[in-house]
């Protein structure tokens, strides 16, 4: 995950999911799951305003929703409240 502090007061998230992750169905399913996780993290105040890039590796395609949630929550927690 990459973070860029911005002058905007909003959170923006982009997802980098390459073809090595799987076919279009797999990539879109993973993107929907990641979007749901990041929305939940943001709803709990876990994201500072700025731009985020979430890059998915091929192993993410086989991860459960709970695994994705735990991994992203841990990563965003490492960024800290001031990110």
Average of per-residue pLDDT across 41-45: 81
Least confident of 6-15, 21-30, 63-72: 6-15
What CATH topology corresponds to 2-78?
Answer: Ribosomal Protein S5; domain 2 (3.30.230)
Q: Is the pLDDT of residue 82 over 60?
A: no
Q: Alpha-carbon distance 13 to 32, whole Å?
A: 12
DSSP code, position 58:
G
Average of per-residue pLDDT across 29-57: 90
Is 21 in contact with 57 (CB distance < 8 Å)?
yes
> Whole-prediction pTM value?
0.83
**Tokens coding 51:** 């731009």
Cα 34 to chain center, whole Å? 5
Average of per-residue pLDDT across 11-33: 95
- Number of Cβ within 10 Å of residue 56's Cβ equals 21
Q: Alpha-carbon distance 3 to 52, whole Å?
A: 5
Q: Is the pLDDT of residue 46 over 80?
A: no
Quote the pLDDT of residue 79. 63
């Amino acid at each position: 995950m990459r973070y860029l502090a911005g002058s905007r007061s909003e959170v923006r998230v982009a997802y980098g999911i390459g073809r090595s992750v799987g076919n279009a169905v797999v990539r879109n399913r993973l993107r929907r799951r990641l979007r749901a996780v990041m929305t939940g993290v943001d709803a709990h105040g876990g994201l500072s305003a700025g731009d985020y890039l979430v890059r998915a590796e091929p192993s993410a395609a086989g991860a459960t929703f709970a695994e994705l949630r735990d991994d992203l929550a841990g990563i965003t927690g490492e960024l800290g409240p001031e990110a």
